[in-house]
Amino acid sequence: MKKIILLLTFFLAVKGLSAQRTITDRNIINQQERMVFKSWDPAKFTPTPGFLGLNPEYWLTWALHPNYPKTDLRPLSPFGPQTQRISLVLAMGQTDNAYKRHSDTLAQTAAIRAAGHLGALSPADPLWQLYYSAQLSELINGSPRSALDGLDAQLGGFLVSSGLYSWYTQERESLLERLEIIRNADMERGSRIMGYHRLLSEYRKLKATWQQRKSAASKQVSLSGLSERMHGKSSGIRLKGRSDIEIADEILAHSKL
């Protein structure tokens, strides 16, 4: 009895192993390969139509799916879902890059405009560097005492005593204060440049007025000195016992000295 049971057990084990054999159908393998990586060729589908399309296996297999051999179902086919997905990802990536470039451009434009408004960055303005800094350097770096350079003591003393020098220094300091406000305040670049232009025009007018007043003061000092000399000379002329002609001749002689 034991031998019979062992034989039956061995027989069943052999039957189980034979039942687990791998089924290798070439048609199934070809179909699986074509679904993934192989080129989609309708002529390679099996079973084939045969002579004059009379193969019954072909009709039993593809009768209900006549378009299947002609439809490329590979995910990576030219129009497959995976190819479309990759194309969509690339297109979205290009769109993201375009948005990024656009946002970077906006950021750079905003930074440039902000830099143009900041007073701390006004010395770096190209127009200031190339033109206005040189034109206004005398106002910024010069001294009010330089307005009296080259003048004699009498003319300089007259300008100080008459209040002309005080007027010039006050006007000059006012222009310098306004220039510092324009350079340090936060404002639009165009407004800052127009401020430079107005200040430069006013400074040139101030210098021209100062030159005119120095010339007028010089003439006034010269006339005052001549009047004093004439008065001193005429005071020594003897008038008693002389005719008018003699007195006039003596005055003319003194004026020629």
Residue ranges in the chain whose pLDDT is less than 70: 1-8, 10-28, 30-31, 34-45, 114-116, 223-257
Residues 6+ away with beta carbon under 8 Å from 151: 159, 214
pLDDT of residue 59: 83
Q: Can you give the pTM of this predicted structure?
A: 0.49
Rounded to the nearest angstrom, the gap between the alpha carbon of residue 57 and the centroid of all alpha carbons in its chain is 76
Tokens of 162: 């008459």
How many residues appear in the chain? 257
| Residue 153 to residues 131, 156, 192, 216, 222, Cα–Cα distance (Å) | 36, 5, 41, 16, 13
pLDDT tens-place string over residues 119-159? 777 777 888 889 998 999 988 888 878 888 877 778 888 88
Tokens of 113: 């405009």
pLDDT of residue 202: 94
- Scan for tokens 């030219």, then name that residue: 78
Burial class of residue 156 in the structure, from the number of CB atoms within 10 Å of its CB (0-12 exposed, 13-18 middle, 19+ buried)? middle
pLDDT tens-place string over residues 196-206? 999 999 999 99
DSSP class per residue in 6-51: HHHHHHHHHHHHHHTPPP--HHHHHHHHHHHTS---GGG-SS---G
Question: What sign for the dihedral angle of Cα 106, 108, 111, 112?
Answer: negative
3-state secondary structure (DSSP) of residue 196: helix
pLDDT of residue 163: 86
Residue ranges of the domains in the chain? 24-73, 75-117, 125-255
Q: Which residues of 188-197 are buried (b: 16+ CB within 10 A; e: fewer)?
A: ebeebbebbe
pLDDT of residue 9: 72
Nearest CA to 181 out of 189, 192, 171 is that of 192
Specify the long-range contacts of residues 241-247, CB closer than 8 Å, at least 24 apart: none
pLDDT of residue 83: 84
Burial class of residue 214 in the structure, from the number of CB atoms within 10 Å of its CB (0-12 exposed, 13-18 middle, 19+ buried)? buried
